[in-house]
Amino acid sequence: MNPALETLVLALATNEALLPPPRALFLGAHAHPSFHDWPDLTGWQPLKPLADAWDAAGFPRSDEPPSGSWPLVLVLPNKSRDETLAWFALARSRLEPGGTLVFALPNTAGASRFEKELSLATRDLVSLTKHKCRAFHATDDGQWNERVFDQWQSLGTPRNIPESHFITQAGIFSCDHTDPGSQLLADHLPANLRGTVADLGAGWGFLSDTLLRRCPNIQRLDLFEADARALACARLNLASHSREITYHWHDVTTGLPHTYDAIVMNPPFHTGQSTDVNLGCSFLTVAANSLRRGGKLFLVANRQLPYEAALGALGFAWRMAAENPNYKLLFADKR
């Protein structure tokens, strides 16, 4: 169960003015059985596992936030402040005059703070708390403060990692700086990698950029990333490299379509708002299944994550290549 989704659905069910919606748009769409009763619900979801679940439930989906306007716009934001405010503005830009916006967030993600922020633009709000989450909605009365929405809209436009050419976007992993764990891995990646190489959970392309600069014998580099926005940034960030590069909007936990001479990764260990070590471990399993015999795995992890045991159980010969107070580098050979 997703508590924020359940709270959103409850807010809809307990407010007759919101149902039944003739047409609705769902930003950050999550599938829910109650939506099967809705005549016309379009979803946008940049995270591949959730987009796949939405598709599997049979709802229509757009790869990009669709253009047009709707009388009802639902939003389930993620955990970044700038992304949430940018999604407030995105939702507003897709709303018909007189329409209603509905948001839901966990309390631990700052739901009451975001409700106050939204009230700066809309003044009146109706809210409901349940499942340690808060859902709030506002109906356009023609009096909203559009300047506030304009400021929030600018938080979602492309931004730069300072003193670099790297482009990122609010809400994607490490959008304001290079991740220090990834930097440690980049500092230790060998220059002699060759053949076909994969970057799992490639984000906006930092490790891929390092590989392409350092390793002249890489013939093809495949990026796999679940967040469509991060992958779009990676395309821009790697555009100046003339090597063969492929980009996959892909849920790595479902396996890879090819085998590799080497794999690099800084595996994710969060699902939504919660820690999920199994997600990182499933990246290791997929790497084990996708490396050729003698293939090499290069990974960085927070020190407390128990990947050594997983590597051993998967039959890798591994070593700790470097460590600092926060991170460790585990380099492994597929036997």
Ligand X SMILES: C[S@@+](CC[C@H](N)C(=O)[O-])C[C@H]1O[C@@H](n2cnc3c(N)ncnc32)[C@H](O)[C@@H]1O
**Nearest CB to ligand X, comparing residues 12 and 230:** 230
In order of 52, 185, 217, the CA distances from 192 in angstroms are 37, 15, 7
**Cβ 244 to ligand X shortest distance, Å:** 19
Both tokens of 53, joined, read: 């679940």
Q: Does 247 bind ligand X (CB under 6 A)?
A: no
**Is residue 251 near ligand X by the rule CB under 6 A?**
yes
Q: Report if residue 252 touches ligand X, rule: CB under 6 A.
A: yes
**Per rule CB under 6 A, is residue 226 in the interface with ligand X?**
yes
- If the CB atoms of residues 71 and 205 are measured against ligand X, the closer one turns out to be 205
Q: How many residues bind ligand X (CB under 6 A)?
A: 20
Binds ligand X by CB under 6 A, chosen from 207, 215, 233, 287: 207
The Cα–Cα gap between 201 and 180 comes to 16
Kindly state whether residue 83 participates in binding ligand X, applying the rule CB under 6 A: no
266 binds ligand X (CB under 6 A): yes
CA-wise closest residue to 129 among 106, 150, 113: 106
Q: Tokens 């107070």: give the residue.
A: 325
The span from the CA of 141 to the CA of 312, in Å, is 61
With contacts defined by CB under 6 A, name the span among 124-132, 135-143, 201-209, 312-320 that binds ligand X: 201-209
Query: Hey, what are 243's tokens?
Result: 């090597």
CB-nearer residue toward ligand X: 111 or 185: 185
Show contacts with ligand X in window 14-73 (CB under 6 A).
Answer: 49
Interface with ligand X by CB under 6 A: which range of 91-99, 124-132, 197-205, 317-325?
197-205
Among 99, 227, 232, 245, binds ligand X (CB under 6 A): 227
- Name which of 35 and 260 has its Cβ closer to ligand X: 260
Closest listed residue to residue 210, CA positions, set 259, 262, 282, 172: 262
**Residue owning tokens 């609010």:** 170
In terms of DSSP H, where are the helices of 221-276? Answer: 228-237
Measured from the CB atom, the residue of 115 and 225 that comes closer to ligand X is: 225
Q: Does 209 bind ligand X (CB under 6 A)?
A: no
Task: Give the HSE-up count for residue 121: Cα atoms under 13 Å, Cβ half-sphere.
Answer: 23
Tokens (6 digits) for 109: 């993600």
Nearer to ligand X by Cβ, of 42 and 210: the residue is: 210
Minimal CA–CA distance to 135: which of 302, 312, 244, 9?
A: 9
Query: Judged by CB under 6 A, does residue 307 bind ligand X?
Result: no
Pairing of strands 126-130, 95-106: unpaired
ω into 20 cis (within 30 of 0): yes
Q: How far is the CB of 139 from ligand X (least distance, A)?
A: 34
If one asks whether residue 280 binds ligand X (CB under 6 A), the answer comes out as no
Q: Which helix (H) or strand (E) holds 115?
A: helix 111-122
Q: Are 2 and 33 in contact (CB under 8 A)?
A: no
Q: Which of 24, 170, 230, 232 touches ligand X (CB under 6 A)? A: 230
Residue with smaller CB distance to ligand X, 83 or 227 = 227
For ligand X, the binding residues (CB under 6 A) are 49, 173-174, 179, 182, 201-203, 206-207, 224-227, 230, 251-253, 266, 268
